[in-house]
Structure 1
């Protein structure tokens, strides 16, 4: 090889490593560096239009979360508020590229309910349990770990961690006074039709059901033998530099005895109250961790294998993984063809979107839920 060719190759390597493909920025605690869109190769005008779209399409439900929940879930028999709730703020969000803030709007430090985005945090505590060997295999039966009767009987004994995590467990019973059949009942048929319907075989049908998700949280509490908010704080939120303002609640009656200590079993959503209360900026740190395959500034906080597993379509629903939504199947966003995108989603238009191909994290709060696809399309158009 000629000397001139060698010099050219070395220059290309240097440019590749130091200019066009710089390492991801990981913000220290209590600070976060912003970059102009132009400096990150992003069209500032188009990005501003995407932000304006999010601001102009605020969730139409009441700002009183109790009212919004009671109206939104009015079809559920016996629905009531059992845990903490709070009035929400206005539209807010942040967009990261390469870890840097390239856009933000609204009060990004305000702590708000995040409803079913909580499920993706719950999934993370399950992944940590797998990583640490507390659960040997997601295909194990949950009843092999939780033997207090929760998984007794011919039907519930078939439930695995895998089916709990992809919401196809069809677990049948009552937890903390809530019946599984009363959560999100079908639109047709009477009360008795819902109540006495025979459960489907575990693993065959995905049903969005908070009671069954709460069974997962309850089961993970028994595996960890300490409160899940503490698990999340120690292993994830503190290492990524999250604030001290986030909280994770259960119901007023979801206290259980573990090793003689009273602990609260947290909820995986908020439509009866509880769940994760958090700021947009803490959401963004969590999203950045997943964008980087569970690695934070050189430290693997949760295995890359787990981050990959949450993105695998379940047998019962192509659009759903392990408590994360996938841009596939019937939930695929119009004109957003990238099926590698995955996201956490919650009632009222709360989203954490992970776009690996564009090195993006998009956090948007209180966006009209059916506008998220268009919002993401507009952000990607600015790349």
Structure 2
């Protein structure tokens, strides 16, 4: 009996430590990541070094002048233009954390660069905070209940709920900030008339990666919060996790609206036409740590564990996509040799925040040739 009680006590202590994130290292504001001590973790140093060398030697092939890279990358889109800020990028950079301890880093992890569609995972977190704080009652609520200015009028758009926009399967139809939804990544077949007058898919049935609709989500969340989303991110997340003051979140130059008599910018969910979040690899890792630790930074709950579970569940149309997080399930986007529980934020040019809750791993990599990302992740896992 004594032995059983002692064992139960140890298990309870372990559970409490797990619950409050005490097994993880969380650096204070502006403190560098604490390096793992020799033999603190069981992994092959040479193999991990080989993975880092792979990331450094497989730099994204696009121009370091990201304005030119964007123009080239989306040249087949009709009417595509640069509408927001851009920035010349640095070279490959990243870091690998185990339980919050630094195993490896490369490049300049404090350099601020565009992060493109990694922004979408930040944006979906703004929706999660709105749910946590009761501003959105349910992700299955029709958005027209909250945004009644005509954005969700009509037989089709009136069916769209928050989850449809978060999973990118709404097929919202219209124009926002002068951009038509059909002109964003149109099919390779057909022409303007075919794209403009296509048959719309029932919301929730077909995923289509589309930045205009993502920006509709950003606009809608701005209407709900009644404040600029960068302010919401700063006050509710970045300040609380000790992020630097160097990150920025931009919208298109002309994307301004008036809410409660105040003029504010509606930000973008990516850098497709410029704008989005500009951030360092180190701050990206801090954001990833919140998701690693079930929504907590140290003992402070930043976003609910329930939201993270919902955000990382497969949508019906795409097993590899949740609420603007990519999921490493068995599907078209599966990375062989990498656990299926892994989820990640991904952006143009090879920007990634990879989260593995079961193994306590955070991997941030920047400017890695995107088609090499799975191979790089596999190399990291082979070192354990």
- Structure 2 partner of 1:340: 341
TM-score, normalised to structure 1's length? 0.95
Residue 335 of structure 1: CA displacement? 2.5
- Structure 1 partner of 2:350: 349
8 Å Cα contact 1:185/1:194 also seen in 2: yes
- Structure 1 partner of 2:175: 174
Secondary structure of 1:256's counterpart equals strand
Residue 10 of structure 1: CA displacement? 9.0
Residue 115 of structure 1: CA displacement? 0.2
Compared with structure 1, are the counterparts of its residues 127 and 17 closer, same or farther at alpha carbon in structure 2 (3 Å cutoff)? Answer: closer
TM-score, normalised to structure 2's length? 0.95
The answer to which of 210-219 and 7-16 deviates more is 7-16
8 Å Cα contact 2:17/2:23 also seen in 1: no
Q: Deviations over 1:151-175 (max 9, x none)?
A: 0111100010010000001000000
Matches within 5 A, 1:1-383: 1=1, 9=7, 23-31=23-31, 32-36=33-37, 38-328=39-329, 329-336=331-338, 338-383=339-384
Secondary structure of 1:344's counterpart equals strand
8 Å Cα contact 2:356/2:362 also seen in 1: yes
Compared with structure 1, are the counterparts of its residues 144 and 44 closer, same or farther at alpha carbon in structure 2 (3 Å cutoff)? Answer: same
Q: How many residues align?
A: 380
Residue 40 of structure 1: CA displacement? 2.0
Aligned partners of 1:313, 1:6: CA distance in 2, in Å? 40
Q: Deviations over 1:290-342 (max 9, x none)?
A: 00010111111100000111111011111100000000111111232x21100
8 Å Cα contact 2:22/2:298 also seen in 1: no
Secondary structure of 1:115's counterpart equals coil
Secondary structure of 1:283's counterpart equals helix
Aligned partners of 2:17, 2:263: CA distance in 1, in Å? 53
Secondary structure of 2:117's counterpart equals helix
Aligned partners of 1:62, 1:283: CA distance in 2, in Å? 22
Q: Deviations over 1:94-153 (max 9, x none)?
A: 111011111100000000000000000000000000000000000000010000000011
8 Å Cα contact 1:37/1:43 also seen in 2: no
CA RMSD in angstroms comes to 2.1
Secondary structure of 1:331's counterpart equals coil
Compared with structure 1, are the counterparts of its residues 37 and 137 closer, same or farther at alpha carbon in structure 2 (3 Å cutoff)? Answer: farther
The answer to which of 190-199 and 66-75 deviates more is 190-199
8 Å Cα contact 1:25/1:99 also seen in 2: yes
Aligned partners of 2:13, 2:252: CA distance in 1, in Å? 54
Secondary structure of 2:265's counterpart equals strand
Aligned partners of 2:104, 2:216: CA distance in 1, in Å? 38
Unaligned runs of 5+ in 2: none
